[in-house]
Amino acid sequence: MQRRNILVVGAGPVGSVAALAAARLGHAVTLFEAQARIDDSPRASTTQPPTLEILAELGLIDEYIRVGLVARTFEFWDRPTLERIAVFDFERLRGETDFPFVVQTEQHKLANMALERLRGMANAQVLLGTPVTQIDQDEEQVTVSAGAEHFLADYVIGADGGRSTVRKCLGIEFEGYTWPERFLVITTQFDFAAALGCCYRNYMADPSEWTNLFKVAGDDLKGRWRAVYNTRADESDEEALSDEAVRARLARVHVPARERQYVHLNLYSVHQRVARSFRKGRVFLCGDAAHVNNPIGGLGLNSGIHEAWDLAELLDKVLRKEADASSLDGYENRRRPLNIEYVQEQTVANKRRLEERDPVQRARRFDELRAIAGDPARHKAFLMKASLLESARRAIRN
């Protein structure tokens, strides 16, 4: 059986960053991915400033920015009246970070970049199309079974998504709930910025059907827009995905009839869940394997990458005997509360803000956004939290 320092399960952006970070620190790493190729369907697209800092440490930042779109601002809108409520500008964070902006691009690009680097490293191994089926451990090591093969390691990182095999093998509960409605993502080439005068990231509140509009780079770098909608709780898959319903939704964000074509549809259930534990013995959970949330605000994937980076550094110190194994308790003690406060609570609040139905409360929410955007100190504090910079700084202090 092969023996490695660290085995990583799941080659999405979180797992690939964990593997690359550990390999760059000099450890023998094997990365497993159940699928034969990286999933390139439209998923997370916003990379926040502290995540860009990590990509800079990994030597990926220039390439990543090249294949993405830099977005300095994001906006809140009232969709029924098409009134811009507030604009938030990441330039307020200059001095706090070298990256006072986000990068809008598809998450598979990051995973593929990291895999390319790993394949060029003598101490790294990438095994695509290799699903992990079982995990066993004792006080000395972990055994990972992948088909008929078995792999030994000092530690295992599970970054294999919301349906995580690693989490299930560990018997860790995934606590939380599923929202009654689903989210529909319509990818289109219609230029919302030109039509509405909006920026690349827009949150449009509506008591009956909110809409979020994001521009991403696209694989051809020609740009695509994603329009994200909530469905009705009683809306069937067939209805939500029907051409008539899709075009009607585009019409409600002022797309002219002749331009309501679309290039991709994605309909998915939305969860708010956190694993009861982020660790069991020598096995750790990162990213969606540890927590899932609604995507409003672009926080879940970023939080997962921060966890991967944090964990790689912790494991490095223990493997080098620069720290005692008890220091690994800090991972869960730090990361689980941070996810609940900065990701779970914020994403729920973001959703509530968009869907508020009470006219008085809705007006109050808009007034509060205007007041925050208009006050330099509150504007910066809002961005520190919304960008996860505050979370990242707290993690360092803890």
Average pLDDT over residues 169-187: 96
Nearest to 110 by CA among 248, 266, 309: 309
| Alpha-carbon dihedral 51, 343, 176, 155, rounded to 10 degrees | 30
Residue 359 has pLDDT above 90, yes or no: yes
> Helices 359-374 and 376-386 sit at what angle, rounded to 10 degrees?
110
Q: Are 103 and 71 contacting, i.e. CB atoms less than 8 angstroms apart?
A: yes
Question: Does residue 133 have a pLDDT over 90?
Answer: yes
Give the Cα separation of 54 and 99 in Å (integer).
11
User: Where are the domains positioned within the chain?
Assistant: 2-69+105-175+273-354
pLDDT value at residue 389:
97
Per-residue model confidence as pLDDT tens digits over 206-217: 999 999 999 999
2-69+105-175+273-354: CATH, from 3.40.50.2000, 4.10.1240.10, 3.50.50.60, 3.20.20.140:
3.50.50.60
> What single-letter amino acid sits at 342?
Y
pLDDT above 90: residue 111 = yes
pLDDT mean across residues, the chain: 96
Q: What is d(CA 12, CA 162) in angstroms, rounded to the nearest whole number?
A: 12
The alpha-carbon radius of gyration of the chain (Å, integer) is 21
Model confidence over 276-329: pLDDT tens digits? 999 999 999 999 999 999 999 999 999 999 999 999 999 999 999 999 999 999
